[in-house]
Each structure stands twice: as C-alpha cells, then as structure tokens.
Chains A and B, each alone.
Chain A
Amino acid sequence: MKHLIDIKDLSTQEIEDLIKVAEDIIKNKEKYSEKCKGKKLATLFYEPSTRTRLSFEAAMLELGGNVLGFSSAQTSSAAKGESISDTVKVIGGYADIIVIRHPKEGSALVASMKSDVPIINAGDGGHNHPTQTLTDLITIQMEKCRLSNLNIGICGDLKFGRTVHSLITAMSRYKNIKFYLISPKELKIPDYIKTNILEKNNISYIETKDIEEYLGDLDILYMTRVQKERFFNEDDYIRLKDYYILNKEKLKKAKEDLCIMHPLPRVNEIAVDVDEDKRAAYFKQAKYGKYIRMALILKLLEIE
C-alpha cells in the first residue's frame, strides 16, 4: 500500500505517469466517470481549507466515488483530545482512502504509520503539500510543455510556504533548473531546503529581496501569500504581508511567455489587473489540480 506524504515518495517516472493520466482524464472525462464507484474518500481537515478540500471532493465525485469527512478540528474528535493515530485507525474502517490536512508538521507521516488505507497529505503545517506540487508540475508541463530548462522565480513566504518547499524538492530532479528565491530576510528559505535539496543536487539558486531584479530572466514566477496562520506574532505578519505585490506595471519587464503561478488563495500579492494578462496561469492551475488529484486517487487505490 502506497501513501503520498512527501513529493519524494513519488519517483520521476511515477510523476510523469500521473501527469499522463491527468492529461487523459482532461481529454476523456467520460471514460473515468465510474472508475471509483463504490469507493469512499475521507477528508480529515483539521485546519481551514476551501480549494484543496473541494478539489479532492470534486476529484472523487468525478470518478464516481463518494466523500465524507470534517472541515475543522472543532467539529472532529480532535476537540475531545483524540490522537491522529486513533482517528485514522477508526476512519480507515469507514473509507478506502484518507486525505489529511493538519497544522502540525509531520502529522500526515504519523497518520500513514498507523493507517490501514492509503493516506494523502493535503498539507502538514508549513512542511509539505505534495498534491499542490503535483498541481504545480502539471501546470508547468501544460503551460511550458517541459519540466526541464527553466528559470523559476519563487516569491513571498519561502520560510513557512509549504508549497514552495515541495516545489523546490520536485523540480530539483529535472535538468537545468535555476531558482530565484525572492523573499524578505525574515521569510527566507529554511536551511534544510538549501543544504538537503539545492546544494545536495547541485541546483543553482540566487536569493534576493527584489522582485524586479531578475524578473526579465524568469520562465516561471511562482507567487505565494504571506500566511497569517503561520505567525505567532501578529505584528510580524502585518509588517510582512504587503512586501511584494505583482502588478501590470512590474510585468512590463518580464518575458512574453512568462508563466505566473500561485497556489491560491491570494490576498493582494497579485493585483487583479494581472488576471487578464495571458501570462496569468493561476486559475488554470487550480483546475489542473483536480485532474492530477483524480489521477493520484486512481493510483493509490490501484485502479487502472
């Protein structure tokens, strides 16, 4: 039985296969509409999420399966003090596959160690968010037609932004990737990502505070939100939340075929006037996310 806790759990070949299946789903939706008939997916969301949870639920429903679950810790037995281990043992008796989001780092790994059914990590605090990464990878593949030879700018909260950590880990497998890590010094990428991923794989990277400095070099600009829920101190959040705002004016310096991505939700880091720009790919990205999650559910349930 396979789980998806960290994007590293999937080989390059497996990722390629998932993207191929997702592309096939996009082209032949009808063919997949009853693949998961009689199967149930449980969503255990201990912290708020709209799109990830709904994306998983939509994915399972489009595969002909059913969904159950909870969407906040207050409405779950966690409020009574139940451990994650006990919760997944119980839910494993009700569902065929479990999607978990929890604010604590490593929570999904703990769930997978105790579960009798496949576990998908839908975000464990500021740590990993592998299905967002799969979403990002299929978006890059669909929009740029390649996963190698890319200059990738990542901007905003690189410290707590779990999507960023997973994306860097995943893209480090491909050839000729260069990262431009754009953040204020308080939100710089953690050292374990630099040493364990970037330096270990000889991936070149530049750290900068200035979003405009390298904008003209980028093939992909991945914007992120400064997340209020990751701060213990509200003053720090208020000070940093408006640090980067991408707008039409700044984009004049960018390549014509730049691909602008964002895991969403955005607050104000991408001005609304960018939405109409043909380089804006973030709403398409959200849609691709559902298809790659459909492909993942099929893989983990071992359905051909």
Chain B
Amino acid sequence: MNIDSIKNGYVIDHIKPGKSLEIYEYLNLGNLDTQVAIIKNAKSKKTGKKDIIKIDELLDINIDILGYLDPNITINKIQNDKIVEKFHPQLPERLINIVKCKNPRCITSIEQNLPQICELTDRKNAIYRCKYCEEKVQKPE
C-alpha cells in the first residue's frame, strides 16, 4: 500500500497498534481541511506492528498530549521533504479536558462547566492527579 510522502507536515510514528484513531480524536484532526492519513498495523522492525499518522501541513498541534497517551511515539517534523526534527513528546505539566476524574466524591462530578484539570505530580512514574480532589487519574489503556 502506498501513501504519498509529505512535503511539509508531521509524521507521528511508532504509535501503539490500534491507538491511532484515539490520537486522531485527541488532536482534533477530524476538524482539519488538510490531508491526514492514518496507517494502521504498519510493519515495524522494533515492535512487529505500529500505527502511523501523517499530517500534510505544519500545524500548531498540541503534541504534548501524545506524551501522556503513548510515551513511545516519535514525531517527525518535515519541511521541504526532509525530516528537520525528530523527537519524543514530553509529559505535559497539565492535562485540560483530556481525562475525566472518576472519583465520585470529586466536585467535577456535579459542578457544571468546570474544566477537568489533571496535574503531573510524579514525572518519573508518569502520575497525574485531579487538580481538585488530588485523586490519581487512570491512564487510558
């Protein structure tokens, strides 16, 4: 299967197989006019299979969230057909409206229009806690 290479944009590589649609949703890629390719179950030397997302434009996307969703992801920034930057996303200090606090005693369970804010309290172990009730939030599988 052939997918055109991109001139200017991002290649989000080494996505855990099956996670690409979730990442597509989190990055709101469905709202873009630009070309986006999702490649599922591509061959990988390292892991056997992987998903890849290609975005055919250098957009201002919130790549921090990727560090939370899958720390093994690689992001390739492409300019004029060349990889100009290659990096792993870092864990963001804050997640806003990404994960919902599941503590039934938390104020987020009843207060309307309250942003769901989670803060990184332990970078080493990638632990986030709800800003309001301080309960640990579960990472999506």
Contacts and interface: CB of A to CB of B under 8 A. Distances in A.
Given A104-B105, A196-B121, A83 B134 contact: no
A192 B111 contact: no
Interface stretch (B10-18, B27-35, B47-55, B125-133): B125-133
A107 B132 CA distance: 7
Interface stretch (A30-38, A123-131, A137-145, A148-156): A123-131
Nearest to A127: B133
Tell me the dominant secondary structure on chain B's binding face.
Answer: loop
B132 A106 contact: yes
Contacts of B136: 191-192
B135 interface: yes
A73 to B, nearest CB: 11
B106 A192 contact: no
B114 interface: yes
A106 B112 contact: no
A166 to B, nearest CB: 12
Interface string A114-136: 00000000001111000000000
Interface of B: 103, 105-114, 121-122, 129-136
A147 interface: no
Nearest to A6: B134
Interface of A: 83-85, 102-107, 109-110, 124-127, 191-192, 195-196
A104 B109 contact: yes
A104 B107 contact: yes
Given A84-B111, A105-B133, A105-B134, 19 more contacts: A83-B111, A85-B113, A104-B106, A104-B107, A104-B110, A105-B105, A105-B107, A105-B135, A106-B108, A106-B130, A106-B131, A106-B132, A106-B134, A109-B107, A127-B134, A192-B129, A192-B134, A192-B136, A195-B122
28 contacts: A83-B112, A83-B113, A102-B107, A103-B105, A104-B107, A104-B109, A104-B110, A105-B103, A105-B105, A105-B106, A105-B107, A105-B133, A105-B135, A106-B106, A106-B130, A106-B134, A107-B107, A110-B107, A110-B111, A110-B114, A110-B132, A124-B107, A127-B133, A127-B134, A192-B129, A192-B136, A196-B122, A196-B134
Contacts of B122: 195-196
A207 B116 CA distance: 34
A201 to B, nearest CB: 14
A264 B110 CA distance: 29
Contacts of A83: 111-113
A169 B45 CA distance: 49
Nearest to A108: B107
Contacts of A102: 107
A84 to B, nearest CB: 6
Nearest to B110: A104
Nearest to B122: A195
A223 to B, nearest CB: 23
Contacts of B109: 104
Contacts of B107: 84, 102, 104-107, 109-110, 124
A192 B134 CA distance: 8
A131 B133 CA distance: 18
A106 B115 CA distance: 13
Nearest to B132: A106
